[in-house]
């Protein structure tokens, strides 16, 4: 049984806590959060503290707090030579205080409190400075997911950048689609089958090969009509730049 202290209880902390708590190989022995919080019924037996000096011995201390705070927070931990890991895609392992053994446990997914995460398919990216810690993090990952991969800080940064494109920026495209339909009093659910199929198609096809549309086929007529429909502002500029980018990407490889 791997004993875990979970430090931070945002969207990721919450999802991770539920997954690690419903697991035969892991046990959350304590939750820390800087402010008080109400744990739901399934978690209410887990000891909770807002005081770092009250932290109990654990095999792994998992930090799940905003990126900018990770370094200074790790300095404030009142112990040394323990395994302390963070859960961030964009932060290097070396940001952690050197007084403890360092590691990273990064589940590559978007988490929200309102949706239960199924960790089984989520890639878990692990890194550690000591081999024995890497094994422990692998075991922890495998208790949750069938897809545990060792990835160093340099590569993880790039992976996180790619995740911003396929998650944050994609969601912004959905937001723009939603706004366009709302202005026409059309229901957003009209777009949902298209959105799913777009995501599903690239299970079989390389996204480069899956590209379609007026930009790809250089259909100036349709592009002009679309630009005419968009009022001046960021969405029009985005349409233009995305069209150029698709043409540049496909021009250079075709």
72 binds a copy of itself (CB under 8 A): no
Which 102-121 positions form the footprint of a copy of itself (CB under 8 A)? 108-110, 112, 114-115, 121
3-state secondary structure of 65: coil
Q: Which of residues 122, 137, 143, 144 is near a copy of itself by CB under 8 A? A: 122
Beta pairing, strands 124-128 & 101-107: antiparallel
Which 83-102 positions form the footprint of a copy of itself (CB under 8 A)? 90
Helical H runs in 43-191?
A: 70-75, 131-144, 153-163, 170-183
146 binds a copy of itself (CB under 8 A): no
Report which of 157, 103, 107, 95 is spatially closest to residue 135, judged by C-alpha positions.
103
- Cβ of 222: how many Cβ atoms within 10 Å? 13
Which 51-70 positions form the footprint of a copy of itself (CB under 8 A)? 66-68
Residue 232 C-beta: closest distance to a copy of itself, Å: 12
Distance CA 104, CA 97 (A): 13
37 binds a copy of itself (CB under 8 A): no
43 binds a copy of itself (CB under 8 A): no
Site string for a copy of itself, 155-184 (x = CB under 8 A): x-xxx-xxxxxxxxxxxxxxxxxxxxx-xx
| Contact between residue 127 and residue 134 where contact means Cβ atoms under 8 Å apart | yes
Token pair of 76, please? 């404030």
User: How many residues of this chain interact with a copy of itself, rule: CB under 8 A?
Assistant: 91
Residue 157 C-beta: closest distance to a copy of itself, Å: 6
Nearer to a copy of itself, 21 or 214 (CB): 214
150 binds a copy of itself (CB under 8 A): no
Strands laid side by side in the 83-86 sheet: 48-49, 26-32, 2-7, 60-63, 83-86, 101-107, 124-128, 148-150
Site string for a copy of itself, 179-218 (x = CB under 8 A): xxx-xx-x-x-xxxxxxxxxxxxxxxxxxx-xxxxxxx--
């Amino acid at each position: 049984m791997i004993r875990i202290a979970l430090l931070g209880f945002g969207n990721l902390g919450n999802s991770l806590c539920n997954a690690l708590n419903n697991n035969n190989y892991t046990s959350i022995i304590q939750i820390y959060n800087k402010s008080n919080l109400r744990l739901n019924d399934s978690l209410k037996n887990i000891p909770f503290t807002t005081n770092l000096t009250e932290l109990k011995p654990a095999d792994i201390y998992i930090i799940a707090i905003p990126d900018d705070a990770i370094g200074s927070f790790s300095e404030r931990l009142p112990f040394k030579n323990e395994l302390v890991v963070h859960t961030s895609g964009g932060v290097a392992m070396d940001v952690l205080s050197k007084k403890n053994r360092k590691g990273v446990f990064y589940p590559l997914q978007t988490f929200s409190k309102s949706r239960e995460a199924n960790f089984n398919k989520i890639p878990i990216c692990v890194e550690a400075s000591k081999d024995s810690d890497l094994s422990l993090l692998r075991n922890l990952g495998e208790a949750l997911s069938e897809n545990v991969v060792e990835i160093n800080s340099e590569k993880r940064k790039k992976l996180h950048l790619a995740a911003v494109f396929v998650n944050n920026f994609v969601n912004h495209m959905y937001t723009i689609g939603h706004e366009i339909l709302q202005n026409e009093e059309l229901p957003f659910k009209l777009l949902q089958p298209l959105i799913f199929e777009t995501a599903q198609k690239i299970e079989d096809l390389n996204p480069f090969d899956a590209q379609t549309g007026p930009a790809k086929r250089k259909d100036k007529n349709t592009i002009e009509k679309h630009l005419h429909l968009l009022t001046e502002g960021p969405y029009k500029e985005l349409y233009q730049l995305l069209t150029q980018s698709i043409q540049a990407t496909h021009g250079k490889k075709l």
